[in-house]
Chain A
């Protein structure tokens, strides 16, 4: 039985590695899903047939309940994928926390010989990571879903970081104490205190974080959920948990690093340097003026262009405008205009968010170009069309050394010959700063809901082709 189990776990691990490997290209990616399903099914199967497992109906019941909740969660609109992802990190953290808690009390009261310092250290790591991921992700999901009583804007107060560090420090100190004296009579009473502190810490960690930082935070929480599984693997001497958790943890880490680089910020800055608190843009003396354009005028500009680059942002997702964008893409393509999409790594609310939305609208993925690739071409581009993006095209990142986004790599929309910017209102973006791009003499603003404005553009263009 031992050999069969370990063998199956090795096969499952290999399948997981292949699953990630096949994700390197869209052509093979679906194979990756099948490999993942096979690995998971194998692992579940071989665990289920272990001799000690007797309460089969409990297991079946939980699996059925998981399916009842899981299937609708997989059918959410793609604009809601960030909150679904946060919610799944939350479930992952909860599972790790509960298994760790159950194991600790089981060992304490029934199998004290397993309560070694090593195992208990692993368990306390598991529950701290698990429970803080649970509440942190739940709050992140709530913020992304824009639930009314959860503040969207960063919540900050004096001494915030001090409170957080004291809280986490206390939890870690108690964890160390339990790890050193795992069989002490007070251990079962201190353990719940660690749980409560971890739950609290998760909330306090996410409260000061605003919308623009969500891609990074989701990636970090992804990493924590993976590391909680690793800790569970150490506690249970289960190498499959360690390898699968390590794959998840490293994936989250890489995504978080990419997101941080794309914002020119560090982890600590994202987690402890509340973005929204950055000093408000220096209010400039003179009143700056926008030049507004009508859909008719904008449609003409687009029609006469040879090359158009569309720069989508979170505003496109909010307005559900991706399908209208596709119609615009078709209209322009029909006229022989070269159309590409410039994707900033942190556009949207999670890594890769824009790509998925555009793919949903049937836009071929070879039209999606990364920031680094498109920037050298921008001076030759006739029209840059900004759809609900703001900070990722803000030239202040290059020019304003005191500004909160200084140093962040941006898409050089301002270098295009003409800029058309669709914006819902005249309010500044998430970083809370003005965008010079909108006042440039090459820029024409189209005010309105992204879906409506693009719909008007499409109407103009299709009307023309019908008439002429």
Chain B
């Protein structure tokens, strides 16, 4: 079991470097949408919550899983919707194309 530690740590370090590299180049204009997008992405904890809520575990544990699943789904849904809503507002001055909402 413990040998899982090293490969997982390896993945964590690499992913952190990718994250730092990618986020550093995000436009400062978009830091608020960035934060709501990463909120939604890190709500991937939903994967753990589904595993707890959906398996045949004792009921009190499943209740914890359901609450966790609810919290994560709230973040996923509101995070992606809000990010998109904010991004739709960013327009250039070149041509005001206010075609479809």
B is a partner of A:
yes
Q: Give residues 27-66 of A contacting B (CB, 8 Å).
A: 29-30, 32-33, 36-37, 39-40, 43-44, 47-48, 50, 52-56, 58-59, 61-63, 65-66
Q: How many A-B pairs fall under 8 Å by CB?
A: 375
Q: Are B51 and A66 in contact (CB under 8 A)?
A: no
Q: Are B50 and A364 in contact (CB under 8 A)?
A: no
Interface segment out of the listed A250-258, A278-286, A419-427, A439-447: A250-258
Closest partner residue, chain B, to A101 (CB atom): B64
A239 interfacial by beta-carbon distance below 8 Å: yes
Q: Are B92 and A230 in contact (CB under 8 A)?
A: no
Shortest B21–chain A CB gap in Å is 9
A180 interfacial by beta-carbon distance below 8 Å: no
Query: Which chain A residues lie closer than 8 Å to B53 at the CB level?
Result: 55, 58-59, 62
Q: Are A91 and B84 in contact (CB under 8 A)?
A: no
Q: Are B50 and A48 in contact (CB under 8 A)?
A: yes
Q: Which of A19, A44, A359 contacts B90 (CB 8 A)?
A: A359
Q: Mark B41-53, 1 if CB is under 8 A from A, else 0.
A: 1111111111111
Q: Are A239 and B8 in contact (CB under 8 A)?
A: yes
Shortest B44–chain A CB gap in Å is 4
Interface segment out of the listed A151-159, A183-191, A350-358, A386-394: A350-358
Q: Which of A19, A73, A102 contacts B82 (CB 8 A)?
A: A73
CA A254 – CA B24 in complex, angstroms? 7
Q: Are B56 and A33 in contact (CB under 8 A)?
A: no
Q: Are B4 and A33 in contact (CB under 8 A)?
A: no
Q: Give residues 395-412 of A contacting B (CB, 8 Å).
A: none
- Residue in B39, B44, B83 with the greatest tally of chain A CB atoms within 10 Å: B44
Q: Are B27 and A25 in contact (CB under 8 A)?
A: yes
A163 interfacial by beta-carbon distance below 8 Å: no
Q: Mark B76-101, 1 if CB is under 8 A from A, else 0.
A: 11111111111111111110000000
Q: Are B39 and A85 in contact (CB under 8 A)?
A: yes
Q: Are A118 and B5 in contact (CB under 8 A)?
A: yes
Q: Give residues 355-394 of A contacting B (CB, 8 Å).
A: 355-356, 359-360, 362, 364-368, 370
CA A195 – CA B87 in complex, angstroms? 38
Closest partner residue, chain A, to B26 (CB atom): A23
Q: Are A232 and B61 in contact (CB under 8 A)?
A: no
Interface residues of A (CB under 8 A from B): 12-13, 16-17, 19-21, 23-26, 29-30, 32-33, 36-37, 39-40, 43-44, 47-48, 50, 52-56, 58-59, 61-63, 65-67, 69-71, 73-76, 78, 81, 84-85, 88-89, 91-92, 94-96, 98-99, 101-103, 105-106, 109-110, 114, 116-119, 218-219, 222, 225-226, 228-230, 232-234, 236-255, 258, 343, 345, 350-353, 355-356, 359-360, 362, 364-368, 370
- A and B contact pairs by CB, cutoff 8 A, 14 listed: A23-B26, A54-B56, A61-B66, A91-B75, A92-B43, A222-B38, A237-B8, A244-B41, A351-B34, A364-B92, A364-B93, A365-B91, A367-B93, A368-B29
